[in-house]
Amino acid sequence: MVNVGFICEGYTEWFILKSEKFQILLNELNLFAVGILNVEGNGNLLPRNIEKHTQNLQDDGADAIVILTDLDEDMCVTKTKVRIGNNDNQHIVIAVKQIEAWFLADTETMKSIFRGKFLFEYPENESVPFETIRQFYITKFSKGIVGPGDKKKLVLKMLNAGFSIQNAANHPNCPSARYFLNKLQEIANN
């Protein structure tokens, strides 16, 4: 069993990482989450802040640290990784452009929510996938799934409907979810 500490930038990531499905995935990979820290904003993912969080997770027994953040407005993944910095046993995973794109990539869960056919061809091309999902819901049901900016309710609805990292990673045009799953497998095999 490899002990992993997670650092994420917001509640969407935090809820996903704390979810029962994700914990089952970790168990299947022979990984154990010693801690999941939400730093509440990608501006808090700077080296001076991450060092203390990394140290706390290592003190709790983490063999590896995984940082999960969004690309947001950064021009490229490399720029985001440079901004965050890199330490030994630290792995940075960047959802393109925002992690809610992974919801669009989970075709099975979206079919369940929208009660029928659903396929979103390029989820990572959406600048604000949360709003895209909200608009789909308004179009389909003539009411909002959640209010503007209410990401916490959306992630809980997605998790309750069956969202999984594996489903998102299986989408042919969601490489950041696939990268996250591959990174977890790599950590488990080292």
Q: Which residues contact 63 (CB under 8 A, 6 or more apart)?
A: 2, 3, 4, 89
**41 near 179, Cβ under 8 Å?**
no
**Distance between start and end Cα atoms, the chain:** 11
The tokens for 109 are 């869960």
Mean pLDDT along residues 56-82: 87
Share of the chain above pLDDT 90, in %: 66
* pLDDT class of 84 with cuts at 50, 70, 90: confident
> Phi and psi of 36, rounded to 5°?
-135, 110
Domains annotated on the chain, with CATH: 2-97+173-189 (3.40.50), 101-160 (no CATH)
> Phi and psi of 17, rounded to 5°?
-65, -30
**111 near 118, Cβ under 8 Å?**
yes
* pLDDT class of 147 with cuts at 50, 70, 90: low
Distance CA 151, CA 84 (A): 24
Distance CA 138, CA 113 (A): 12
Which is more confident, 112 or 151? 112
Residue 172 DSSP one-character state: T
Query: In the prediction, which pLDDT does 83 show?
Result: 81
> Phi and psi of 33, rounded to 5°?
-85, 110
* Sole residue written with tokens 């789909």: 136
* pLDDT class of 80 with cuts at 50, 70, 90: confident
pTM > 0.85: yes
pLDDT higher than threshold 70 for residue 172 = yes
pLDDT higher than threshold 70 for residue 31 = yes
Mean pLDDT along residues 44-65: 90
How many CB atoms within 10 Å of residue 85? Answer: 15
| SS3 state of residue 161 | coil
